[in-house]
Amino acid sequence: MPINTDRALGAVLGSAAGDALGASYEFQPAVLPPTPIVWRAGNPWQRGEWTDDTAMAVPLLDELAAGADIRTDEALGRVVRRWLGWARGAKDVGIQTRRVFAVLERELEQHTGAHDDAHVARLCKTAAAQVHDVTGRSGGNGSLMRTGPVALGYLHDAGAVAAAARAQSDLTHFDEDTGDACVLWSLAIRHAVLTGEIDLVGQLGALAPDRAEIWRARIAEAEGREPHEIKNNGWVVAALQAAWSAIVRGTSLVDVLERAVRAGDDTDTVAAIAGSLAGAKYGASGLPKLWFDELHGWPGEHAVDLETKVLLVVGRE
C-alpha cells in the first residue's frame, strides 16, 4: 500500500512546529483562553526555531534516511556521537540528558583509544543506567520528545517500530516508563500514518500485560483532564498524558499544538510530543505556511530539509 506522505511528513514537521511554538512559553504558567498562543520569538529562541526536542530527533531521522537500522548499536552510536557534538554548543539540553552525556564524556576521556560506534552506544546506555542509580529516577520526557521519525522507518513492521522506539529511549533514559511511552507513541504514529486514525489504546498489546493496565489507566485519566490540569509534565508520564489530552480535545493540527502549549511548564516538549502524533493524523498540510517557511534549527536546517529526509525514509518502505 502506498504511504500517505503528507501524514508521514506530519509526524516530523508537526513535532518540530509544536517544539518551535512552545519554545517561547517554556517554564511559564498555563495560558488559558481567550489569551491567544502566538508564533513568536522568545529568548534565546528565534521565531520558528526548534529546540532540543527536534535537534535530538534529527540524527535519528538522518540514520533512517541513510537506510540504517536504528535498532542496531552501530547506528545508535552514530546518533550518540552527533548528540554529543550538538550538546557541546546547544542552547538547551534537558537535565537528565545532560547528566548522561557528562558521565559518557568522562568515560570516553578516561578510556581513550578507538571507540567504535556500537561501543559508544553501549557506553551511553550504561551511563543512563548509572544516572538512574545515582539520582533514583530517570523518567524525564526527553526520549519521548524525539520519537517523531522512529515509526517512519518501519511502517510495515509494528514489532520493529516498538524495538526501535525502545532502543533509542534506552540510550538516555533507563526508567521503564520512558521506553513504554516511546513504544506506545511510536506505534500510534505508525497507525495514524497508515490509516489517518488515532488509536493509542489499541497499541497497549505491545506492552507486558501488567504494564499495559497501568498505561490504560493513565490514558483514561488524561482524557478526563485539560492539559494544564496535568502537573509535572517534565515527567514522561505526565508529558504523554498532557499531549494526549490535547489530541483528544483538538480539532486540527494547530488546535492540538495550541492546546498543548497552553499546559504551561515544559510547553515545547508537550507540544513536540503532541505534534508528532497529531501531525501523523492531520498531515503536514495542516501547518500554516508561515510556520512551515520559518521553521528552522540545529544543525542549520529548515522544514524543507526535514521534508527531503522524511521522503527518503518513506521512499524505502
Member of 49, 52, 180, 307 binding Mg ion (CB under 5 A): 52
Q: Is 266 among the residues that bind Mg ion (CB under 5 A)?
A: no
Question: Exposure of 156 by Cβ count < 10 A (0-12 exposed, 13-18 middle, 19+ buried)?
Answer: exposed
Binding-site size for Mg ion (CB under 5 A) equals: 4
Any known ligand binding at 268?
yes
Q: Which is nearer to Mg ion, 203 or 267 (CB)?
A: 267
Q: Does 265 bind Mg ion (CB under 5 A)?
A: no
**Residue 49 binding Mg ion, by CB under 5 A:** no
Question: Distance (Å, rounded) from C-alpha 124 to C-alpha 211?
Answer: 25
Q: Where do we find the cell 530539509?
A: 305
Helices and strands (DSSP H and E) totals, the chain: 13, 2
Nearest to 167 by CA among 138, 143, 199: 143
- Which residue number has the CB closest to Mg ion? 51
Distance CA 99, CA 96 (A): 5
Residue number with CB closer to Mg ion (175 or 268):
268
Cα–Cα distance between 186 and 70 in angstroms, integer? 14
Chosen residue from 49, 53, 177, 258 binding Mg ion by CB under 5 A: 53
Residues 120-179 that bind Mg ion (CB under 5 A): none
Segment interacting with Mg ion (CB under 5 A) among 45-53, 105-113, 156-164, 169-177: 45-53
| Distance separating alpha carbons of residues 281 and 209, to the nearest angstrom | 27
Decide if residue 268 touches Mg ion (CB under 5 A): yes
The answer to whether 145 touches 273, Cβ cutoff 8 Å, is: yes
51 contributes a contact to Mg ion by CB under 5 A: yes
Binding residues for Mg ion, rule: CB under 5 A, are: 51-53, 268
Enumerate the known binding-site residues for Mg(2+). 51-53, 266, 268-269
Q: Which segments are annotated as binding site?
A: 51-53, 266, 268-269
